[in-house]
A and B are shown apart, each in its own frame.
Chain A
Amino acid sequence: MKKAIAILAALLMAASLASCANTPADAAQPALSGTVKTGGSTSVESVMTALIYQFQENNRSVTVNYEMNGSGDGIKNTISGLYEIGHSSRELKTDGSESGLDAVAYAIDGIAIIVNKANTTQTLTKDQVKGIYTGAITSWSEVGGQDALITVVTREEGSGTRSAFAEIIGLEKSGDDSTAIVSYAAVSDSTGAVQTTVSQNPDAIGYISFSEVDANQVNTVQYEGVTVSSDSLKDGTYKLKREFYLVTKQGATLTPAAQAFKDYVLGTDGQKIVGEKKLLPIK
C-alpha cells in the first residue's frame, strides 16, 4: 500500500515537473502572460467563449476571464476599471452616463424572430411585429397564421437583446401603452429559456440571437420578407440586427495581454471564429 502511494506520488511529481517544463516552451514566442479581466453581455457567450478558448490555446500563460453579467455591468465595470475590456451587445448610451469609452464592433448579430414548429406563419413586417408586441395584434389569424391567440414571449427588463429588439422595432420604454411591450407578455430570463418556451407552445412568438437559434426546436420567421441567415446579414437585407462590442477606456493603454486579445478578436483568426458562430464578421 505504502509502496503504491510512493509510486503514485513519484508519478505525480514527474508529471508536474513535465508540465512545468512544457509551459514556458509553448508560450516562448509571444511571451505574453497574466490575466485579462473582461465581462459583460451574455448574448456574446457562445462566440466569446470560443474566442477566449482559442486565444488561450495560443497563449498558454494568459488567462482571459469573462464574467457574464450583462452589457450594463460590462460597461460600468469598464468605467470603474474592474474590467480592462467590457462586452456589450448594445451601443454605448449617448446621455453622458457612458462617456469616456471606446466601443469597437467585432461582430454583427441578427435577432431572429422565432415561432413554434407547428406555426404556419411565414413572414412578418415590422409593423406586425410591433403590433404583436404592443398588443394591437392578438391573433395569429391577423397575420396569416392559425386561428389562435398569440402568446408573446419577451426577455427580462435590462437584457441587451430586449433593448436592441425594442429599439429597432420601435417599442419605447415609456409608460405609453401603445408603444410599450404588453405587460402580460411572458418573461423568460435567457436566450435558451425563450427558445424552450417557444418550442413547447404552438402559439408563442419570441426573439433571440440568430447565433443561438436551434432549427430543430423552432422556426424563424421572415422579417420584412427577408429570412435571417448569414447571407442576408452579410448583404445587409436583414434589418433586425445589432452589433457586439469590445469596450475599453478611452486613451488608456491596455496591458500587452489585453491588447493582444483585442487584436486577436479583430484579426483574421478571431474574425474567422466569429463567422463560424453564425455571426457576421465586421471585417
Chain B
Amino acid sequence: MTSSAAADAAKEGFSIRQRRRSGQALEGAMHCVFLVCGLSAVASVAFICIHVAVSGWPIIAKYGLDFLLGQSWNPGNSQFGVLPMITASVAATAAAMVVALPSGVLAAVFLAKIAPDRVSAVLRTFVDLLSGIPSVVYGLLGAILIVPKIFKIQSAAGLPAGGSLLAAAIMLAIMILPTIISVSETALRAVPKQYEDASLALGATKLQCVFKTTIPAAKSGITAGMALGIGRAAGEAMAVMMVAGNAAIMPSLLKPARLLTASIPIEWAYSSGVHREALYGIGLVLFVFIMALNITVRRIMKKGAGQGE
C-alpha cells in the first residue's frame, strides 16, 4: 500500500506540476487578453476626447466668446452663438430635475422602506423596464401625447402651439426617473439598520424615521443618483428633438427650444465647412459639460464612501 501510495503521490505531484506549467502559460495569455480589453476602453475614451477636442476647438478659437455667449444661431449668416442651446439644455435639465427628484426619491422610499417585498419586487421590474425603453419611443409618445396637451396652455398664454421646452422637460423627467429611483433605493437600503432602530427607539414615527434619519443618511447616494440623472438628461438627443420644437432662441417654458444635443443631429446632414465645425464645437461644449458632471458624481460618491467608513 505504502509503495503504491507513494507512486500515486509522485504521479499526482508530477501532473500538478505539469498542469501548473500549462496553467501559467494560459494565465499569461489571459493576462494579455484582459490587458488589451482594458486598454481598449481607455483608448476609446482617449480617442474620443482628442477627436472632439481637436475638431471642436477651431470654431471656439475663431469665434471665442461669440460662440459660447452669442445669442444668435444663424449658420447661413455666419452667426454661431450657442448660448440659447446651452441655456435651453440647462433649463430643460433643471426643470426635469424639479419634477423627477422628489417623485423619484419618494418612489425609492416606498420601494425600500414601505412596500412589502413582493410589491416592491414587481414595482422594481417596472422601473427597470422604464429605463430600458428606447429614447425614440419616448420621443414618439411625447410628440403624440405630451405636445398636443400643451397646445391649450400655449394658446391661453398667447403663444403659437407647438413643441416646447416644457414638453422636453416632462419627457426628460420621465426618462431619468428610473435612474433616480434605482440609485436612491440602493442608497436607502444601504443605511445601517441601527440608525433606524435608534430613531424608532427614541419614539420617532415611521415617517419621521424615514425623513429625519434614513434619507439624510443616504444623502450622498441620492445625490449621486441625481447627478447621474442630470447626466442622462443633458445627454439625451433623440426624444428631446422630437418634442422641443428646436428653434434656437433663448429658452422660455412654453416656447420651442433647441437643446445642445439636438442641434447636432438636426443640422449634421446638410452642414459643411464652418457650419460643421460649429456642430463639432457644440459637441465639445456638451462633452465638457457631461465630463464635469461625471467628475462631480465621482467626487460625491467618494465622499459618501469616506463618510461610511
Listed in ascending order, the chain A residues whose CB lies under 8 Å from chain B are 42, 68-73, 76, 138, 148-153, 156-160, 173-175, 180, 183-189, 196-197, 200-204
The residue from B72, B158, B266 contacting A187, defined by CB atoms under 8 A apart: B266
Q: Could you say which residues of chain A place their CB within 8 Å of the CB of B40?
A: none
Interface centre among B75, B77, B275 (most CB of A within 10 A): B77
**Could you tell me if B249 and A183 are in contact, using CB atoms closer than 8 angstroms?**
yes
Binary per-residue interface labels of chain B (128-167) against chain A in the complex, 1 for a CB within 8 Å, 0 otherwise = 0000000000000001100110010001001111110000
**Could you tell me if A186 and B163 are in contact, using CB atoms closer than 8 angstroms?**
yes
**Could you tell me if B275 and A201 are in contact, using CB atoms closer than 8 angstroms?**
no
6 further A-B pairs in the complex, CB-CB below 8 A; given A184-B247, A186-B256, A204-B162 = A157-B74, A173-B74, A186-B162, A188-B246, A197-B163, A200-B143
**Could you tell me if B270 and A158 are in contact, using CB atoms closer than 8 angstroms?**
yes
**Could you tell me if B75 and A158 are in contact, using CB atoms closer than 8 angstroms?**
yes
Q: Could you say which residues of chain B place their CB within 8 Å of the CB of A185?
A: 247
Question: Closest residue to A163 on the B side, CB-wise?
Answer: B76
**Could you tell me if A152 and B77 are in contact, using CB atoms closer than 8 angstroms?**
no
B105 at the interface (CB under 8 A from A): no
**Could you tell me if A189 and B267 are in contact, using CB atoms closer than 8 angstroms?**
yes
B46 at the interface (CB under 8 A from A): no
Q: What's the Cα separation between A159 and B241 when bound, in Å? A: 17
Q: What's the Cα separation between A136 and B184 when bound, in Å? A: 51
B271 at the interface (CB under 8 A from A): yes
Closest CB in chain B relative to A193 CB, distance in Å: 8
Q: What's the Cα separation between A160 and B270 when bound, in Å? A: 8
Q: Could you say which residues of chain B place their CB within 8 Å of the CB of A174?
A: 77
The residue from A70, A149, A152, A158 contacting B159, defined by CB atoms under 8 A apart: A149
Closest CB in chain B relative to A24 CB, distance in Å: 38
Q: Could you say which residues of chain B place their CB within 8 Å of the CB of A72?
A: 270-272
Q: What's the Cα separation between A203 and B163 when bound, in Å? A: 12
Closest CB in chain A relative to B120 CB, distance in Å: 38
Q: Could you say which residues of chain A place their CB within 8 Å of the CB of B144?
A: 200
B87 at the interface (CB under 8 A from A): no
Q: Could you say which residues of chain B place their CB within 8 Å of the CB of A200?
A: 143-144, 147-148
Closest CB in chain B relative to A277 CB, distance in Å: 21
**Could you tell me if B272 and A158 are in contact, using CB atoms closer than 8 angstroms?**
yes
Q: What's the Cα separation between A112 and B162 when bound, in Å? A: 21
Closest CB in chain B relative to A117 CB, distance in Å: 14
Q: Could you say which residues of chain B place their CB within 8 Å of the CB of A189?
A: 241, 246, 265-267, 269
The residue from A69, A173, A175, A201 contacting B162, defined by CB atoms under 8 A apart: A201
Q: What's the Cα separation between A158 and B275 when bound, in Å? A: 9
**Could you tell me if A159 and B270 are in contact, using CB atoms closer than 8 angstroms?**
yes
Quick one: given A159-B270, A203-B161, are A173 and B76 in contact (CB under 8 Å)? yes
Closest CB in chain B relative to A202 CB, distance in Å: 7
Q: Could you say which residues of chain A place their CB within 8 Å of the CB of B163?
A: 186, 197
**Could you tell me if A69 and B160 are in contact, using CB atoms closer than 8 angstroms?**
no
Q: Could you say which residues of chain B place their CB within 8 Å of the CB of A76?
A: 272
Question: Closest residue to B241 on the A side, CB-wise?
Answer: A189
Q: What's the Cα separation between A201 and B265 when bound, in Å? A: 23
**Could you tell me if B266 and A156 are in contact, using CB atoms closer than 8 angstroms?**
yes
Report the 10 A-B pairs with minimum CB-CB distance, sorted nearest first.
Answer: A158-B270, A70-B270, A173-B76, A187-B246, A149-B160, A186-B245, A151-B160, A151-B162, A189-B266, A157-B75
